[in-house]
Chain A
Amino acid sequence: MKPSIQLKISGDYACFTRPEMKVERVSYDVLTPSAARGILEAIYWKPQIRWIIDSITVLKPIQFTNIRRNEIANKIPTNTVKSVMKATNKEFPHLDVTQHRQQRAALILREVAYVIQAHLCILDRRLEPDGPELPKNEAAGKHLAMFKRRAQKGQVFHQPYLGCREFPAHFELIETDELILAHETFQDTTKELGYMLHDIEFDQNRQTKEVKDATAHFFKATLINGTLKVPDTLPFPIQSKHP
Chain B
Amino acid sequence: MILQALSQLYDRLKDDPENYQIPRHGHSFQQISFVVVLHPDGSLFEIQDARISNSKNKLRNIEIEVLGETKSSGSGLNPCFLWDQSTYLLGKRVPEKPEKYANDRFQAFKDKHIALEAEIDDRDFSTVCHFLNQWTPSRCAEYPILDELKTGFGVFKIIGAKYYVHQTAKIENWWQEKLADTSMPSSPSPKPIQAPSQVPCLVTGQQAPYARLHPKIKGVWNAQSSGAPLISFNEKAYESFGKSNDQGANAPVSKTIACNYASALNALLKNPKHNFHLGDTTVVFWTETPTTFENSFSGIVNDIQDKTQRQQIENLLKSISTGKQYNEFQEEQHTDFFMLGLAPNKSRISIRFFHHTSIADILSKLHAHHKALKIIKEFSEPTKKGKVDLDFPPIWMILRETARESKDIPPLLSGTLLRAIFQGTNYPEALFAIIIRRMHADRNINYIRAAMLKAILIRNHNYTITTMIDKKNTEPAYLSGRLFATLEKTQEDALKNLNSGLRDKYYSSASATPASVFPRILRLFPHHLAKIESKPIKIFLEKIVEEILSKVSASEGFPVQLNLQEQGLFAIGYYHQRRDFFTKKDHQEKPESQIAKADSKEA
User: Interface on A for B, CB 8 Å cutoff?
Assistant: 18-24, 26, 29, 63-66, 71-75, 100, 102-107, 193-195, 197, 200, 211, 213-218, 220
A107 to B230 Cα, complex, angstroms: 14
Contacting residues, chain A, for B236 (C-beta < 8 A): 73-75
Is B237 touching A72 in the complex (CB atoms < 8 A)?
A: yes
| Residues in B neighbouring A102, C-beta threshold 8 A | 235, 237, 346
Contact of A211 among B4, B203, B230, B242 (CB under 8 A): B242
CB distance from B139 to the nearest CB of A (A): 43
B103 at the interface (CB under 8 A from A): no
Q: Looking across the interface, which residue of chain B has its beta carbon closest to that of A200?
A: B241
Across the interface, do A22 and B203 meet the contact criterion of CB distance under 8 Å? Answer: no
> Is B343's beta carbon under 8 Å from chain A?
yes
Chain B stretch 197-242: residues in CB contact (< 8 A) with chain A: 199-200, 202-205, 230-238, 240-242
Q: Which residues of A contact B415 (CB under 8 A)?
A: 66
* In the complex, chain B residues whose CB is within 8 Å of the CB of A217: 200
Q: Which of B237, B351, B412 contacts A21 (CB 8 A)?
A: B351
Specify which chain A residues have a CB less than 8 angstroms from the CB of B4 in the assembled complex.
Answer: 194-195
Min CB–CB distance A35 → chain B (angstroms): 15
Contact B203 A195 (CB under 8 A): yes
Q: Which of B202, B240, B352, B425 contacts A63 (CB 8 A)?
A: B425
Contact B237 A73 (CB under 8 A): yes
User: Is B262 engaged at the interface, CB distance under 8 Å to the other chain?
Assistant: no
How many Å from the CB of B287 to the closest CB on chain A? Answer: 17
- Determine if A75 and B250 form an interchain contact, defined as CB atoms under 8 angstroms apart: no
Decide: A19 and B250 in contact? CB cutoff 8 A: yes
Q: Which residues of B contact A75 (CB under 8 A)?
A: 236-237
Contacting residue for B233 out of A22, A63, A64, A200, CB 8 A:
A22
B353 in the interface, Cβ–Cβ < 8 Å?
yes
Query: A216–B343 Cα gap in the complex (Å)?
Result: 28
Q: How many A-B residue contacts, CB cutoff 8 Å?
A: 100
Since A20-B231, A22-B250, A66-B415 are in contact, a sample of 16 more A-B pairs with Cβ atoms closer than 8 Å, ordered by chain A residue number, is A19-B202, A20-B202, A22-B233, A22-B240, A66-B353, A71-B237, A72-B237, A74-B236, A105-B352, A194-B4, A195-B204, A213-B241, A213-B242, A214-B241, A215-B199, A218-B205
In contact, B351 and A26 (Cβ under 8 angstroms): yes
A218 contacts B250, C-beta separation under 8 Å: no
CA distance A64 to B352 in the complex (A): 10
What are 18 inter-chain pairs, A to B, with CB distance below 8 A? A19-B251, A20-B231, A21-B2, A21-B351, A22-B250, A24-B348, A26-B2, A64-B353, A64-B419, A65-B416, A66-B412, A72-B237, A75-B236, A102-B235, A107-B354, A194-B1, A195-B202, A214-B243
Chain A residues near B349: list those with CB within 8 A.
Answer: 24
Contacts of B200 in A (CB 8 A): 217-218
For B205, list chain A residues within 8 Å (CB).
195, 218, 220
Q: Are B238 and A216 in contact (CB under 8 A)?
A: no
Residue in chain A with minimal CB distance to B231: A20
Residues in chain A near residue B243, CB distance under 8 A: 214
- B89 adjacent to chain A (CB < 8 Å): no
> Which residues from 386 to 443 on chain B have a C-beta closer than 8 Å to any C-beta of chain A?
412, 415-416, 419, 425
Complex interface: chain A residues within 8 A of B251 (CB): 18-22
User: Could you tell me the distance in whole angstroms from the C-beta of A99 to the nearest C-beta in chain B?
Assistant: 12
Complex interface: chain B residues within 8 A of A63 (CB) = 425
Are B231 and A21 closer than 8 Å at their CB atoms? yes
> Within the complex, what minimum Cβ distance (angstroms) separates A22 from chain B?
6
Chain A residues with CB under 8 A of B352: 66, 105, 107
**Shortest Cβ gap from A30 to chain B (Å):** 11
Which residues of chain B are within 8 angstroms of A195 by Cβ–Cβ distance? 4, 202-205
Which 7 pairs of residues, A with B, have the shortest CB-CB distance?
A24-B350, A214-B241, A20-B251, A105-B350, A73-B235, A19-B251, A194-B1
Assembly CA distance A63 to B199 (angstroms): 32
Q: Which of A74, A105, A218 contacts B235 (CB 8 A)?
A: A74
When distances are taken between beta carbons in the complex, the residues of chain A under 8 Å from B376 are none
CA distance A95 to B551 in the complex (A): 68
Given contacts A66-B353, A105-B345, A214-B240, contact A23 B3 (CB under 8 A): no
Min Cβ gap A170→B in Å is 23
Distance of A8 Cα from B244 Cα, bound (Å)? 37
Residues of B within 8 A of A220 (CB): 205
Asked if B348 and A23 sit within 8 Å, CB to CB, the answer is yes
> Is B253 at the interface (CB under 8 A from chain A)?
yes
B242 touches A23 (CB 8 A): no
Q: Which residues of B contact A23 (CB under 8 A)?
A: 231-234, 238, 348
